Amino acid sequence: DFNLTAIIANIPALMIGFAFHEYAHAWAADRLGDPTPRSQGRLTLNPFVHLDLFGTIMALLFRFGWAKPVMTNPQYFRGDKERGLMLVSLAGPLTNLIIAFVAMFFWFLTMISIQASAWSDIISLMFQSIVLMNLGLGIFNLLPIPPLDGFAILGGLLPRSFAPRLQVIEQYGMIILIVLLFTDILGMVLFPVRKGLFDAFEKIITLILTPFIG
């Protein structure tokens, strides 16, 4: 669906989603003692530092894309290296989910304020794009499939005895991911989860705002 209005609305949503996701990885690694992201200029919210041209075009046109991955060196991490890698991996998708919640809160608050304004439809579409894009990025990256963040998180949660098996799976990660994408199996999982989180966020925000609407 090459809807030009939707594509334009997705541009700021994509820039916000990718920038915060990659910055969160860089920030978490930096806090754990790894100087690599800072030395490579990735400790910034400037989206143009994080965007991959082809990955961005793919995301805008086909709803599947990627940013430049933040390079880290777990050897620098203070404390347990596996735990550190898990925390760095978790930081990106968790930040996307937080951004989705905050954006939805301000979306609802703005719609209450402007109501039937001439700009309400456009503003609503932009907020909606930010919410859905960040929900999608957060959920997608939590999938335990290499090279997604969820696979590193899984590796940090499982006993070390599982490491050899995970290394075998990692070799075929991209093939598994591509097959799942093109057979729409991922869509069958992602869309219900995204809708469930959307509905949950909506209920929480409605409860927060209801006492102030009168």
Query: How many angstroms separate the CA atoms of 6 and 125, rounded?
Result: 8
Of 101, 122, 100, the closest CA to residue 111 belongs to 122
Annotation says 22 is catalytic: yes
CA angle 16, 3, 11 (to 5 degrees): 15
The length of the chain, given as a count of residues: 214
Beta-carbon count within 10 A of 186 CB: 18
Asked whether the beta carbons of 99 and 172 are under 8 A apart, the reply is no
What does the DSSP assignment read for 132-181? HHHHHHHHHHTSS-TTSHHHHHHHHHS-GGGHHHHHHHHHTHHHHHHHHH
Q: Where would I find the beta strands (DSSP E) of the chain?
A: none
**Residue at token pair 């989603």:** 17
Contacts of residue 191, Cβ cutoff 8 Å, sequence gap at least 6? none
> Which of 22, 82, 170, 202 is flagged as catalytic?
22
87 backbone φψ class: left, alpha, beta (φ>0; ψ -120 to 50): alpha
Q: What amino acid positions are annotated as catalytic residues?
A: 22
